[in-house]
Amino acid sequence: MKKDNSTRREESGVPLKTGQEVMIGNFAIARGLVEAGLDLAAAYPGTPSSEILPGIIEFNRREKGSIHAEWSTNEKCALEVAFGAALAGKKAACMMKQVGLNVAFPSLLKGRHKAIQGGLVVISCDDPGPQSSQTEQDTRLLASLFNIPVFDPASPKEAGDTAYYALQYSYDHKTPVIIRPTHRVSHAREMIDFFSPGLRKVTLNEGVKSGKGRKLGIVASGMSYALARDVISELALEDAISLYKVLRVFPLERGVIEFAAGCDRVLVLEETDAVLEALIDGGERVFGRRSGHVPGQGELTYDVVRGIVQQVTAEMGIKAEVFTPDPAIEEAMKGVNVLPRPPKLCAGCPHRASFFAMACAYPDAVFPGDIGCYTLGIAMGAVDTCLDMGAGVTLASGFYDTFKQDGDLVPILASVGDSTFFHACLPPLYDAVQKQKQFILVIMDNGTTAMTGMQPTPQTGITADGSPASSIMIEDIVKGFGIEFVRIIDPYDIPLMIATTKEAYDYLRKEGKGPAVIITRRECILTAKGRDVAPWDMGRLEEDCIGCKACVKAFDCPGLMFDEERRKIRIDQGVCVKCGMCYFACPTSAEGKSLRKFRDKRSREKG
């Protein structure tokens, strides 16, 4: 994007540039939207999109504007609220992660044909890798399939300019527009210039960026373009390769097609699917995903792009500087014991206590899981599935029907978080209640959307900007469905949680109906910051340790380290919050022994 960077003053005396700040791409997008005259914003949090709405609230505050901004219960709600505003002539935006777009897709699909009176920008952030999603998904593919204009910015700065441009573009063309930043754009940081609302000058930065020859051309968009540029520079290929930058992936400028047609061979670099590749349709001349030169999945990192460019130039006999990794590095590392750091629930996380109790009550149960921090329960053997939002409940239903068909009732312990419960679990729960599916649903209520950065849920009782709102209690909903077995317990009471889980399963068997719901309610340890945790004396755990590692295995807490030299557990004082729950995972402690009665009972049942 070419932009007037000067600080000269307009005739009115208003300075063009009003300031600058280092910020992430998502805040740059927020800034662009606010400067473009946004009226309404709605979003459901999801990495890597979650910071855009808070950014809008922040810049609206600084500009003393009157933008309405809200966290919606899910992406469909967000899109439809924004769509309603756009229909009525306002400039609106909604934000979500790539898999969230699926939830909003029905309304987007129909909505693209409805001539909006205002403007509507949908920002759907993609997650190549994926780094924090259940799957990769290319928003550009969906947009181009259904004729929705889509932009793929290459940097935070360009993302901000694109947001500004896209809202105007939507307003002028009366069509919804999608911006698709990848996580590397959303979360990269750089200096962003501020302008007074309405005074930014933006033109699309597209076209040939380097090279004159037409032997090998690269067409790239988004972060892949930025990487291609750096790799070409590293390998000193500026003269040998021509590089074409695409920002608006659909509808594609004629220039791209002409550039591709004018090159002997074309390499297409893009994340995460073959979208530009399909639109260019260059057949055998194209190096890309179809030819196998670009990996079909995973992020295009610097090393991946460098590898692809090296391979393609080698195949074409183009001279380039060659990078060869030094194997001596790995060789020297062989003797070094680097501690693995798999993702874990936080020390003191109430979910960990719930999962521990669930696995303790019925270790052989089926554990349908859901999407959130608590997906990490997989490491504790208390989450078996991770499909999409709400699937914890629907899969539990499916499993129940399957077992029932085979005449076998087994414990099914589904788990879902509070935000996900509101987002996607109500329709699945109607079905489960009406059809009397016999499973236990544990709703892990920590009062917030922790995974994505503590956004409020409909129960939290505050709005996106922190002002008070009404609160809808989960138990009221569940009871309203007619579910009879509803218990609300503190997950830190592990014996009670185990006993309640067993009571719930007995209820399912005895009454022949279901589901049974246990709401485990305790504030997220990150928002609670130690409040409401009665600190335990952790000394016994270390002193009485017999080195069996049961707590490390069953409790999976980042505060527990095993000291191989001393053959004893060691507590990381910097991490431990003294919740004391790990005592229940210690078979020699009084707390651990107190759980034996539950275990004994089960083995009698089995015997």
Partner 1 sequence: MRLEIVCAGIGGRGVLLASTILIEVAAEAGYRAVASDEYGMSQRGGSVVSLVKVGDFESPLIGREKADILLSFEESEFYRNLAFLKRGGTALVNTGRKALDGPVADLLKDRGVPYYLVDADGIAVEKGMMQASNMALIGFFSRLGVTPYTAENMESMIKRRVKAKLVEKNLEVFRAGYGYEKG
Output the smallest distance, CB 223 to partner 1, in A. Answer: 7
Between 218 and 396, CB nearer to partner 1: 218
What are residue 511's phi and psi, to 5 degrees? -85, -20
CA distance 575 to 44: 30
CA 124 from centre of chain: 11
Question: Which distant-in-sequence residues (6+ apart) come within 8 Å of 202 by Cβ?
Answer: 1, 3, 161, 162, 164, 165
Q: How far is the CB of 346 from partner 1 (least distance, A)?
A: 5
Which residue, 331 or 408, is less far from partner 1 as judged by CB? 331
Helices (H), 374-530: 391-405, 418-424, 426-434, 474-480, 494-511, 525-528
State in angstroms the smallest separation of the CB of 480 from partner 1.
Answer: 34
Nearer to partner 1, 116 or 576 (CB): 576
Q: Are 236 and 321 in contact (CB under 8 A)?
A: yes
Q: Following CA atoms 350, 351, 352, 356 in sequence, which dihedral angle do they give, to the nearest 10 degrees?
A: 110
Nearer to partner 1, 184 or 289 (CB): 184
| Shortest distance, position 605 Cβ to partner 1, whole Å | 37
Which whole-number Å values give the CA distances from 123 to 40, 80, 209, in the listed order?
Answer: 14, 14, 26
User: Which of residues 346 and 579 has its CB atom nearest to partner 1 in the complex?
Assistant: 346
In the complex, the smallest distance separating the C-beta of residue 103 from partner 1, rounded to whole angstroms, is 21
CA–CA dist 22, 308 (Å, integer): 32
- Identify which of 70, 61, 110, 95 has the alpha carbon closest to the alpha carbon of residue 167: 95
d(CA 419, CA 395): 18
Of 284 and 326, the one with the shorter C-beta distance to partner 1 is 326
What sign does the dihedral 445-450-456-457 (CA atoms) show? negative
> Closer CB to partner 1, residue 39 or residue 556?
556
CA–CA distance, 258 with 280 (Å, rounded to integer): 9
- Rounded to an integer, what distance in angstroms lies between the CA atom of residue 382 and that of residue 413? 8
Pick between residue 28 and residue 94 the one whose CB is nearest to partner 1: 28
- In the complex, least distance from residue 375 CB atom to partner 1, rounded to whole angstroms: 8
Query: Least distance to partner 1 from the beta carbon of 157, Å?
Result: 9
Output 376 or 443, the one with its CB closest to partner 1.
376
Residue placing its CB nearer to partner 1 in the complex, 301 or 385? 301
**By the criterion CB under 8 A, which residues form the site for partner 1?**
22, 131-132, 154-156, 184, 187-191, 223, 225-227, 229-231, 233-234, 301-303, 306, 323, 325-326, 328-336, 338-339, 341, 343-344, 346-347, 376, 450-451, 526, 558, 574-575
**In the complex, minimum distance from the CB of residue 454 to partner 1, in angstroms, rounded to a whole number:** 10
Look at phi and psi of residue 115 and say left if phi exceeds 0, alpha if psi is from -120 to 50, else beta. Answer: beta
Tokens of 227: 């990487």
DSSP assignment, residue 457?
P
The distance of closest approach from Cβ of residue 607 to partner 1 in the complex, given in angstroms and rounded to an integer, is 41
Distant-in-sequence, close-in-space partners of 248: CB < 8 Å, separation ≥ 6:
149, 150, 151, 152, 204, 206
Whole-number minimum distance, CB 449 to partner 1, in Å?
13
| Closer residue to partner 1 (CB): 227 or 249 | 227
| Closest CB 22 distance from partner 1, rounded Å | 5
Question: β-pairing, 216-221 with 241-246?
Answer: parallel
Start-to-end C-alpha separation, the chain = 72
What's the min distance (Å) between Cβ of 420 and partner 1? 16
In the structure encoding, which two tokens stand for residue 303, read together? 């090393």
All residues at 6 or more sequence positions from 498 whose CB lies less than 8 Å from its CB, including other chains: 357, 360, 361, 595, 598
Return the exposure string of 408-433: e unless at least 16 CB atoms fall within 10 Å of the residue's CB, then b. Answer: eebbbbbbbbbbbbbbbbeebbeebb
Q: Which of 371, 517 has the CB closer to partner 1?
A: 371
